[in-house]
Structure 1
């Protein structure tokens, strides 16, 4: 009989500790109808992979390349990429990233037509 009471007591203590740890991460006070303040665990949105931020960076990079191509010109830009590709590993990686793709070309033509 005493063992059952001790186990029951320890189970209640574990539940209280678990709830206390959850509330320690953040909680809000809820007011019951009788005026009693009851803490409840705050629901936090779990952070996911920042897909939107990556898309903004890619779009910005394509716009940046398009502006450069429209200002410098395609032939001059290609010559600069060729000289960059003859360099070391970092320069070659930069030349690969800065190569003219269809999106960059479309942005460059759009910017050139505006100005």
Structure 2
């Protein structure tokens, strides 16, 4: 015959196992338990931050400026125009590579350095 205290003990163990399976646990005061580490978990981040997009745009403008300085504005414009006559992907590339006022300003500032 089973002792009533043993039955009570097994019920408490079963309850503790259920709490653990649900993700809960006893935490002593002053200890670094699960609640502490869950609060310290890093927040979800974007795959590509705004800073990353800005750096990509700045690098593209810099590359376009260097290309204009190296081959000349007229030749660069002719190459972009020829690219605009191509397929859909080439037209998108021509739109991205077209010389704008900011690209021209960058090229003007890079010309004394690169020549």
Distance 1:81 1:18 in 2: 60
Deviation (angstroms), 1:88 = 1.3
RMSD over aligned CA atoms reads 2.8
Q: In the alignment, does 2:90 pair up with 1:91? A: yes
Distance 1:72 1:18 in 2: 64
Of 33, 36, 43 in structure 2, the residue corresponding to residue 38 of structure 1 is: 33
Q: In the alignment, does 2:52 pair up with 1:53? A: yes
TM-score, normalised to structure 1's length? 0.67
Greater fraction of residues in strand? 1
Tell me the residue number matched to 1:4: none
Deviation (angstroms), 1:87 = 1.1
Deviation (angstroms), 1:68 = 0.3
Moved over 6 A (4+): none
**Structure 1, unaligned stretches of length 5 or more?**
1-9, 21-30
The structure whose RCO (Cα within 8 Å, separation 6+) is larger is 2
- Of structures 1 and 2, the larger Rg is shown by 2
Distance 1:19 1:74 in 2: 67
The change in CA–CA distance for 1:109 and 1:37 in structure 2 (over 3 A counts) is closer
- Report how many aligned residue pairs link the two structures: 93
The change in CA–CA distance for 1:37 and 1:45 in structure 2 (over 3 A counts) is closer
Tell me the residue number matched to 2:63: 64
